[in-house]
Amino acid sequence: MVCVNRTETKLAVLGQGYVGLPLAMRAVQVGHDVVGFDVAPDRIKRLTAGESYVEDISSEILASALESKRYLPSSEPKALAGFDVGVITVPTPLREGNPDLSYIESAASMLARYLRPGACVILESTTYPGTTEELVGPMLEEGSGLTVGTDFHLGYSPERIDPGNPDWALANTPKVVSGVDAASLAAVQGFYDTIVERTVPVSTPKEAELTKLLENTFRHVNIALVNELAMFANDLGIDIWEAIDAASTKPFGYLRFTPGPGVGGHCLPIDPSYLSWRVRRRLGHSFRFVELANDVNDHMPDYVVRRLVGALNRQKKAMNGSRILLLGLAYKKNTSDDRESPAVVVAQRLLELGAEVRAADPHVIEEHVDRRVVRVDATPEELAAADVVVLLTDHDAFDFDAVAGHATYVFDTRRRLSGEHVEHL
Ligand SMILES: NC(=O)c1ccc[n+]([C@@H]2O[C@H](COP(=O)([O-])OP(=O)(O)OC[C@H]3O[C@@H](n4cnc5c(N)ncnc54)[C@H](O)[C@@H]3O)[C@@H](O)[C@H]2O)c1
């Protein structure tokens, strides 16, 4: 058996995105030899050139990993040969509302080709409970001719990375670990003990898989709660933000969540549906909390548009032909990720209503927004020329004083601004 808790392990990380790249960098830092494998050749090209596309990884960190010769970005499957630990960090999207595990399947079949006795495979992608044991294990066995537990280790460890969070990074965030048997758990835990400060073992991969879905469903449901409350509070003429601030002074039994234009990214709009799908498939029940939260959160971009129409109406203007400046396209502040971003939906709805939509976002490069949206900088002239400025993502890079000072009307979905012309969600 390969001893995985020593350094110098040959680690293969499949998927070099928001999850895989930070793991690869951290592993290099602690002394492992790492292959950063990705099927997207353009990503490998950028990594090889020392250009990071993930904010939390500076190009300096990437450059020093490359210089150490212990990091090899590659899209060549044969680079996986001889791996001791293989970690799968590939996407798990929804296709027509159902889990799409094709990326995990493709990564598992790739690893199976190079699986050796004693090696360890760990799934990190977020997925429904049962995926590791019922899908990944059998695929690895079939592709390698080896037996899980007897010949190789297998486990699941959810990723908790929070892009853009300056306080909690991979190394200091406790990591839940699991294995299909005691030896697998020891191997998985041994590996992550070299990566993070604290590992948290659970009995089987199913508990670890559920842990991740519980965490994200908890956030999803609580965000939906404050979003729905925000809509009612506005109609009742009550300041929801003040109530949230006051409730947040309670030292126990309350956790602060704030309203916004909707949820986005790779996690909240998707992960809870993996859980409700599994519950429906296995038990025949609907997971009502998830469905309700989806309903409320999915509705928020439309609600934002409704408030904008109302604001223009008060100025005796129509949405058709109005100039709307969106501040922020990313789903989350200080990140460049606009996947599933509510801003994309808001922009689409505004275009459908005939608005002239412009958008400023200093982070987003690989945009998913409609091509008719004109990308601009949030200059004083742009701010002043807009009929409505909508703050959707409160990136620290925005000059909020300038926004409040130059815009004639701002709809602020994050409560970052105050002033005469500012209205909050
Ligand atoms: N982004 C987050 O904040 C976050 C946090 C926790 C968990 N997760 C979960 O981690 C997983 C990965 O998310 P991400 O945000 O890093 O995605 P990402 O899109 O940023 O990166 C995934 C990468 O995998 C690559 N890929 C696809 N198929 C592959 C294959 N067969 N072999 C190798 N590479 C392949 C893609 O080209 C892409 O570069 C998902 O399950 C997600 O739900 C994400």
**DSSP string across 229-298:** HHHHHHHHT--HHHHHHHHTT-SSS-------S---TTTTTTHHHHHHHHHHHHH----HHHHHHHHHHH
Between β-strands 94-95 and 98-99, what pairing exists: parallel, antiparallel or unpaired?
Answer: antiparallel
Query: Do 336 and 364 form a contact (C-beta atoms < 8 A)?
Result: yes
Q: Is 3 a catalytic residue?
A: no
Query: Do 327 and 407 form a contact (C-beta atoms < 8 A)?
Result: no
410 — phi, psi (to 5°)?
Answer: -125, 130
Q: Which atom of ligand 1 is nearest to the CA of 107?
A: 31
- What pLDDT is stored for residue 7 in this prediction? 54
3-state secondary structure (DSSP) of residue 27: helix
3-state secondary structure (DSSP) of residue 182: helix
53 — phi, psi (to 5°)?
Answer: -115, 10
Name the closest-CA residue to atom 1, ligand 1.
18
pLDDT tens digits along 300-358: 999 999 999 999 999 999 999 999 999 999 999 998 889 889 999 999 999 999 999 99
Handedness of CA 419, 422, 423, 425 (dihedral sign): negative
Residue with token string 């109530």: 243
Percentage of the chain modeled with pLDDT above 70:
98
Residue with token string 């993070």: 196
Compute the distance from residue 124 Cα to the ligand 1 centre, in Å: 9
Name the closest-CA residue to atom 10, ligand 1.
125
Compute the distance from residue 163 Cα to the ligand 1 centre, in Å: 13
Name the closest-CA residue to atom 11, ligand 1.
125
Compute the distance from residue 160 Cα to the ligand 1 centre, in Å: 13
d(CA 33, CA 254): 44
Adjacent-strand bridge partners of 411: 390, 423
- What pLDDT is stored for residue 8 in this prediction? 67
DSSP 133: I
Pocket of ligand 1 (CB under 6 A): 14-20, 37-40, 43, 89-92, 103, 106-107, 125-126, 159, 161, 163, 266-267
Compute the distance from residue 268 Cα to the ligand 1 centre, in Å: 14
Over its length of 425 residues, how does the chain's per-residue pLDDT go in tens digits?
444 545 568 999 999 999 999 999 999 999 999 999 999 999 999 999 999 988 889 999 999 999 999 999 999 999 999 999 999 999 999 998 899 999 999 999 999 999 999 999 999 999 999 999 999 999 999 999 999 999 999 999 999 988 888 899 999 999 999 999 999 999 999 999 999 999 999 999 999 999 999 999 999 999 999 999 999 999 999 999 999 999 999 999 999 999 999 998 878 888 888 989 999 989 999 899 999 999 999 999 999 999 999 999 999 999 999 999 999 999 999 988 898 899 999 999 999 999 999 999 999 987 888 999 999 999 999 999 999 999 999 999 999 999 999 999 999 999 999 999 999 99
- What pLDDT is stored for residue 315 in this prediction? 93
Amino acid at 293: A
> Of 23, 267, 311, 410, which is the active-site residue?
267
Q: Which residues of the chain form CATH 1.10.1040.10?
A: 212-296
pLDDT tens digits along 143-153: 999 999 999 99
Adjacent-strand bridge partners of 195: none
- What pLDDT is stored for residue 97 in this prediction? 84
Classify domain 212-296 at the CATH topology level.
N-(1-d-carboxylethyl)-l-norvaline Dehydrogenase; domain 2 (1.10.1040)
Q: Which residues of the chain form CATH 3.40.50.720?
A: 10-203, 299-424
Residue with token string 């130059």: 406
> Which one is the CATH code of 299-424: 3.55.50.30, 3.40.50.150, 3.40.50.720, 1.25.40.10?
3.40.50.720
Nearest one of 126, 156, 283 to 220, comparing CA atoms? 126
Query: Do 241 and 424 form a contact (C-beta atoms < 8 A)?
Result: yes
Q: Which atom of ligand 1 is nearest to the CA of 106?
A: 31
Compute the distance from residue 86 Cα to the ligand 1 centre, in Å: 14
Nearest one of 425, 338, 366 to 390, comparing CA atoms? 425
Report, at the CATH architecture level, how domain 10-203 is classified.
3-Layer(aba) Sandwich (3.40)
Query: Do 387 and 375 form a contact (C-beta atoms < 8 A)?
Result: no
d(CA 158, CA 69): 28
Name the closest-CA residue to atom 20, ligand 1.
17
Query: Do 311 and 388 form a contact (C-beta atoms < 8 A)?
Result: yes
Number of residues that this document lists for the chain: 425
Name the closest-CA residue to atom 28, ligand 1.
103
Nearest one of 210, 208, 213 to 192, comparing CA atoms? 208
Compute the distance from residue 342 Cα to the ligand 1 centre, in Å: 20
Residue with token string 């200080």: 334
Query: Do 400 and 416 form a contact (C-beta atoms < 8 A)?
Result: yes
- What pLDDT is stored for residue 3 in this prediction? 42
Ligand 1 test: best mutation among 11, 14, 18, most atoms within 8 Å of CB? 18
Q: What is the pTM of this model?
A: 0.91
